[in-house]
Structure 1
Amino acid sequence: MSLPAAVSLEQLRKQAKDLRRARSLKLAEAQLLIARRYGFPSWPRLRAYVDRVATAGASLQHAFEAEPSYYADRAGGLLASAQDATPDAVATFARWSAPLTEAGARLVVARNHGLTSWPALSRHVRDLAAEPFARAFQALRRQDLDGLDELLDRFPELVTAIGTNGNDLLGLASATCDERLVSALLRRGADVAHGNAHGWTALHQAGYSNLPHMARVLLAAGAPVDGSARGDGGTPLAVALFWGNREVAVALAAYGVVPRNLRTAAGLNDVALVEELWSSPSAGAGRGFYRPHGGFPAWRPSSSVTEIRDEAMSWAARADAVEAITALHRLGASLDANVYQGTPLTWAAAQGRVRAVRHLLALGASPSAAGTFGGPRHGVGTTALHHAAEGGHLEVIEALLNGGADPTVVDELYGGTPANWAGHGGHAEARELLLSRGGTERS
């Protein structure tokens, strides 16, 4: 039995009346049977679904989380993506004639779900347990392959249905990092090229999560390597290299280096390409992408040659691309520039890249330079040592201390030392190491 995406309320009423006559049932009994046939617990829930289809059309988005706060976060992310000029996000605001404001974003999310207001969406999501798409999502969350298969047998159109912010089941499955679920959906015809409202595909998620085998499965199924998410040039490879995920980046680059720019070359540790692009006009191509989610602050990459070159140093550092660091330094890139939310040393320290940390320090990077990192409520006035401590990266902490990093420096947002950050992150061994090497703690 298929989901009634194209079934009108009148058609459902006729089905109920026909069933009532055929089985000598009361109308309410027949209506209940029809509702259950379509996977809904009651006639009113089925009727409400049909009303949502009528409001949103074939592009109806299915809610799958029971907490209204989830949708508030999605609205915030959708607004950030629209402000970054992501085409699908911009289009959904235009569709509902909504302003690029928080209230406008919440209205867009509600309307995309076939509801007329934010309060209506908040009421709706509190009772999703019996709806087919929400049940499929719960099967994904439990990593219940048998349960997912059972639902897809009964409702095959779930494979092409979309949920909040345009996420389909394949995209949601990729976020679980469970390749069995991804493969099951691909076998049933899931669209490997489908992107959500941010342009984010399952392959982007594989890059984000550093899953080389999943990436290869998706690539073999025809996943495109050139689709942009969250800004021009936000390809799966760029998303992977934003985090310095070299393992999956290698798998993605085998299908093409896209975009072919200086920061991508640096992240891939491709010295020949770094040298080729250093003075090329295409060095800064495809830099509209600069954050993988709305938790990072808004920014506008410029066409400044210095900015392009210094940013590449940061991308090399986070990927432990030591040869690229050497080449960029020789060509003139800065070791200490904070182009966007993190100096090269801070990025290398945060990602636990001990080789890059040692190499940057040997080349003359400042061991205690303070700057920004991550979101605006995270790293303000922090050093590389704060972020190495936050991650519990013992070898990196040792390398920074040996390179002259100050273990007593206090960040500007929380007033914490690196030892405080280690303790907050639950890294007792890192905290003890810092305290044993002259570190202090603030109460």
Structure 2
Amino acid sequence: MALSLPANPDLEHLRREARRLQRAVRSGEPRAIVLVSRLHPEGAPGDPTTFALSDAQLVVARSLGFASWPRLRTYLAAAAGLSRDPAALDPVLEASAGVDAAESASVTVALACLTYTERDEPERWSRAAQLLADDPDLVHRDVFVAAAAGDAEALRSHLAADRGAPTREGGPFRWPPLLHLVYSRVPQVDAVGSARVLLDAGADPDSGYLWQGLPTAFTALTGVFGEGEQGPGRQPRHPQWQPLAELLLERGADPNDRQTLYNRMFNRDDSHLELLLAHGLGRPSSEVWTRRTGEPAETIEEMITRQVDWARSHGFVDRLELLAAHGLVPDGAADLTPDDVLGDDVPVTGPWPGDPTVPDIHRAATPEAVRAAVAAGARVDSLRDGRTALHQAAFMDDVELVTALLEVGADPTVVDAMHGTTPYRWALWARGERAAAVLRGATGRHTSRALDDER
């Protein structure tokens, strides 16, 4: 079972959770009894009033994916030194107009780097680039700024003066220089050359940290491949992602990078998978982060299963075929076709009556699949998780998919159930400039047609 911890997990909080569970079981609360019967190896107690705290702690540990309470405590102790909370550590106030000279290095690297919070956006990187332009000597005063700027010559000077610099943690997020380089999104002088300088000097290709103490490490590879829940506009891949990833993998970085696979899972592009598979993804490797924390965030089998399940449920046929070609898909899935995907009985939510097993437009991951789904009866404006397929395509800045959906009749003025906004607004928030441009014109044309119809 994959680990599933709350953000910034705290042992005392979990102890209190165990005490609450013990009290709930002893008082006979049905939900607590069901939880214990499912997770305790001996099932629910015959006499709930005898349910011990140690039993409750075992159930809490198992609910989080740990085999025992001691294993959970050991993980938390190991993870404490590896945990970083970028939101809490960020020295930049959104309303700040100027930067104190004494804090310019810290602010510059904080603005330059992806934090995997809602603060990630191009405006921050532009501010960082301006600070670097205003103070060119900053790269020579601070090794972490030099790394974020990808300035190989400045890095060589820092390393010559301090042999421990390649592995020393610092800057606002307490990262080593390599992480500042690969998570930076400002224009860099020589990203690949700088990475080579750091690696040659002893930087760890498996450098990383636990984001808010969660068990899946954000590694150097994670920073290189980028993307994630905020979309490719706010959390883009590194401009030099391919040569940087190849360099890290050649130097021994573990290709079984769970966070990379999760972050890139939402986008139908498979270039990250192609590279990782070529370097051993899906096969046992160093598992360095399992050794560091004492527990696997998820096993290799669980990691691959999540990829397969997502591909199947979202119609990513090409991804399934790619995984199948490397022997990572169960028997039978290798023959999956777009028609098979679109014929699945996933319910369509929305205000339309009729057969709930019509093709689901949300599983149409290519323009061809969109057209086939609609031809087979899919409701193009159906909702899943409160959004239309057009909202999701806009969020991912997937212009091809946006265009295909509009061509088959998707309504660009439909609002989502969560924020009450249109696909165009989703594209704007996600900094999906290309999708926003297409949707701006489509929304205007749709509104004009509606007004003509009213007349």
Select the structure with the greater relative contact order (CA < 8 A; seq sep ≥ 6): 2
TM-score (norm 2): 0.49
TM-score (norm 1): 0.50
